[in-house]
Amino acid sequence: MEDKLFISNCEKEALINYLSGNFNESDSSTLKNWLEKSQEHKFFLDQLSDIWQASRLPVIDDKIDVQSVWDELEVQLHNKNKNPFHWKRWIQIAAIVIVSMLAGGTGFYFLNTKTTPSDVASQIVEYVAPLGSRSYVKLHDGSKVWLNSGTSIKYANNFGTHNRDIQLSGEAFFEVAKNKSLPFIVNTGEISVTALGTKFNIKAYKEEKTIETTLLEGSVKLESSVVKLQENLVLKTNEKAVFTKKEQSLNIVGNTTGEKEGEKTVAAKPSMQIIQKIDPVPIVSWKEKRWIISNEKLGSLSVKLERRYDVNVIFDNEILKEYSFGGTLEDETLEQILTAISFAAPIKYVVDGKTVYIMADGKKIEKFKNLLME
């Protein structure tokens, strides 16, 4: 292994601690520096993560014999791939654990772990996608999670064996591995979503007034810790549930094919509205290369841009937030997106470091008056 790829003892220890859940600040710095040295290092970490999860090697304490565990990993790596440094094959078979798609390229962002060596079950694993990045996580049970910018998930170290409970803050897309005996539960504080095997998106940023759940496949059960909801409230494919924190109500909304034909009141208090046949593609496109913006007001779109590019957007006129923008963006830079918006609305912009100033364009304002949203 080391003939082709040199790994120091310090780096080996950081890798083992990362895989076992005993990751600390020093390990994070060591591993980050090591990964930045070569693209091959990232592929190597992917392969080790795949082997570690497949073998279900136990989480061990700080007395770990790093060299012994490393030797075992070498054996399993050699058995799995007779040419462990055939990097093209690694790309094909690696199970990627964390991939942060940064605005200017691809990088890694590591988990923070809070551990209590005497109690393995109490150890908490946390994955974070900071502002300006998006991440992909493959969980021990085979479930896949995409994290949007400014998002974190937390779960106990025994996830997948005793429970499948996850705490979410931010926005994430879940592709859940089926396990009828162990429900998959996502908690946001006010709302919990339970699924056995399904695909769904949850948007639950703490600073926002709503929590949105969009179902693409299967079914999920919604429950609330702050209000009494209809018993066995089940969301169906192509439905979207919006929980309003302030009003403490749950509405299931979307696009209709007729005038309120798919709408009905489920309960009087809190109010629930079901509108069927939404198009979920634009809602979850944030995790893809092609980001679809569907007739969205600049006020809400600016919040997404702030998270996606780690900037602060300032409008010089609140009325500008009411203009709408729609389009499909593919790997565009922030300035390219702002330029596209300026063609669709009477605005001009200035980017100063991490601050974006959006101002009214007097020459265009008359032309665009009729486009204001009421």
Average pLDDT estimate for 183-191: 93
Q: What is the pLDDT of residues 132-156, one digit of tens each?
A: 888 888 888 889 999 999 999 999 8
| Average of per-residue pLDDT values in the chain | 75
Residue 6 confidence (pLDDT): 76
Residue 20 confidence (pLDDT): 66
Percentages helix, strand, coil for the chain, rounded to the nearest 5?
30, 35, 35
Residue 297 has pLDDT above 70, yes or no: yes
Residue 74 contacts residue 3 (beta carbons within 8 Å): no
Residue 125 contacts residue 167 (beta carbons within 8 Å): no
Residue 273 confidence (pLDDT): 55
pLDDT-based confidence at 291, cuts 50/70/90? very high
Residue 60 contacts residue 23 (beta carbons within 8 Å): no
Lowest mean per-residue pLDDT among 122-131, 211-220, 300-309: 122-131
- Burial label for 285, CB within 10 Å (0-12, 13-18, 19+), is middle
Residue 214 contacts residue 233 (beta carbons within 8 Å): no
Could you tell me how far CA 42 lies from the centroid of its own chain?
20
